Structure 1
Amino acid sequence: MSNHGGVAADQLRAFVERIERLEEEKKVISDDIKDVYAEAKGNGYDVAVLRKVISLRKKKPHEREEEEAVLDLYIHALGMAGSGEAEGRDNG
């Protein structure tokens, strides 16, 4: 193993090459995901909502509940809730 100024060049090169390979794989996977979203859109699905569903599924139930509670609070604070929605849920 070559050692230049305290750096193991062979090991460093191996790390760089592994990272480069993984970055290329990540790009391929990212392109595949874009294709799936495009296919879903072509079949009439709302991609923005689909992305939100994917995001929500990554979270634990209590994290989703917290997020929904804060969102509900903000919506009410901004007066964005419809009159029917606010009834029975608006405690102040």
Structure 2
Amino acid sequence: MADGSATLKTATGAGGVAAERLRSFIERVERLEEEKAAIAGDIKEVYAEAKGEGYDTKILRQVIRLRKMDRAERQEQEALLELYLSALGEA
């Protein structure tokens, strides 16, 4: 068998421990993927609610991205942005 199942059967008998362990990993990942999709839907709803109240969701996303950064990293990026804009005559 070219799909890899022959290797599992050879290593552990006819679908023994290795196959069950593999199935366990796959099922766990599938559950987590379902949870991730549900959370993504929840996040989308929060952004829609914020937009409905007049907030700019593009800016909200940027604020969230910046808050994830270390303060020094954020300051470095802001300094580089200012430098680049100044070099272009935009600042």
| TM-score, length basis structure 2 | 0.82
| Match status 1:66 vs 2:38 | no
Q: Specify every segment of 5 or more residues in structure 2 that has no aligned partner in the other structure, as ranges.
A: 1-7, 13-17
1:27 to 27, 31, 37: 37
Deviations 1:44-78 (A, max 9, x none): 00111000000010011101101101111111112
Partner secondary structure for residue 59 of structure 2: helix
Q: Is 1:4 aligned to 2:9, yes or no? A: yes
Between the two proteins, what is the percent identity of the paired residues?
Answer: 59
Question: Where is the helix percentage greater, Structure 1 or Structure 2?
Answer: 2
Match among 62, 77, 84 for residue 87 of structure 2: 77
Aligned-pair Cα RMSD in Å:
1.2
2:30 aligned partner, one-letter code: E
Q: Which stretches in structure 1 are left out of the alignment for 5+ residues?
A: 82-92
TM-score, normalising length: structure 1: 0.81
Local SS of the residue matching 1:45: coil
4+ residue stretches of structure 1 with deviation over 2 A? none
